[in-house]
Amino acid sequence: MGQAIAARLGQTDDLDCAAVWSRTPGRHAERFPDGTRLDADIHAVAGASDVLIDFSLPAGTVEAAAAAARAACPLVCGVSGLGETQFDALVRAAGHVPVVFDRNMSQGIAVLTDVVARVAHALGDEFRVTIDETHHVHKLDAPSGTALKLGEAVAAARERPLSDLMWYEQAGEAPDDAIRFRVERRGEVPGDHAVRFESATETLTLSHSVTTRSVFADGALRAARWVHGRPPGLYSMADVLGLTADSKNPG
């Protein structure tokens, strides 16, 4: 993702890459051929930036969040697979600086999630829900973070936790009110998701496909533009796109 973001930055007139964080020890104040600074010191990178964008790994997110808070630098985080420790680090940082975190930085997925929640609320429990997701063979987690995000939207509309409704690889027949997840790992597919609502008389399918991973870079840069100058708080791509009624703070 770092290369995709760098490529998109090279195509923009209003944003520049101030520095790149390398987690390889000993890489201090090196330079890329274009002059961009490469540094193993995340605090130096955050201090040189107006907005810090993190697409590293869960362990790196803890360091990035701490550096952003220390440097009073807004943070955009698109790292998936975060555990409680890493998410808590983002929440702590959000008490000091604005943080945009989303498991999927795609603008289309943010809109899809909003629509899915509205449809689930309108149709109610009488419609069976199935979430299909397909990714490349290198993806290790299943269901994907995005599929879980869509499932959470349905569960929230039904005012129940996803853990009560999720049905994935269990034996036997799923209950009628279950949210079924179907996962496929195939080729180099960047990411396809579909949410299907079915009754005895009709089916409604909402879907989203990614054609290139640059879509996540586009979302991250839109979030970077939006988050600069915001008050401290924990935000999502829904906030960036104006899909939420009010901007949220962690409180």
Tell me the per-residue pLDDT of 96-148, one tens digit each, with 9 for 90 and over.
999 999 989 999 999 999 999 999 999 999 999 999 999 999 988 899 989 99
Q: Are strands 37-39 and 19-21 parallel, antiparallel or unpaired?
A: parallel
Per-residue DSSP letters for 90-102? HHHHHTTSEEEE-
Supply 184's token pair: 């496929």
User: What secondary structure letter does DSSP report for 65?
Assistant: H
Position 246 pLDDT exceeds 60: no
- Strand, helix or coil for residue 246: coil
User: What secondary structure letter does DSSP report for 173?
Assistant: P
Q: Given the structure tokens 């399918």, which residue do they identify?
A: 205
Average of pLDDT values for 43-64?
A: 93
105 and 216 Cβ atoms separated by less than 8 Å = yes
Cα–Cα distance between 143 and 153 in angstroms, integer? Answer: 15
* CA neighbor of 227 nearest in space, from 218, 237, 215: 237
Kindly report, residue by residue over 140-194, the tens digit of the pLDDT: 889 998 999 999 999 999 999 999 999 998 888 999 999 999 999 999 999 999 9
Cα–Cα distance between 200 and 132 in angstroms, integer? Answer: 20
Q: What is the pTM of this model?
A: 0.86
Position 44 pLDDT exceeds 70: yes
Supply 95's token pair: 């008490």
Q: Given the structure tokens 């009488």, which residue do they identify?
A: 126
Q: Given the structure tokens 């520095």, which residue do they identify?
A: 19
Q: State residue 182's pLDDT score.
A: 97
- So which residues are the catalytic ones? 135, 139
Reported as a pLDDT band with limits 50, 70 and 90, residue 26 is: low
Position 202 pLDDT exceeds 70: yes
Reported as a pLDDT band with limits 50, 70 and 90, residue 250 is: very low
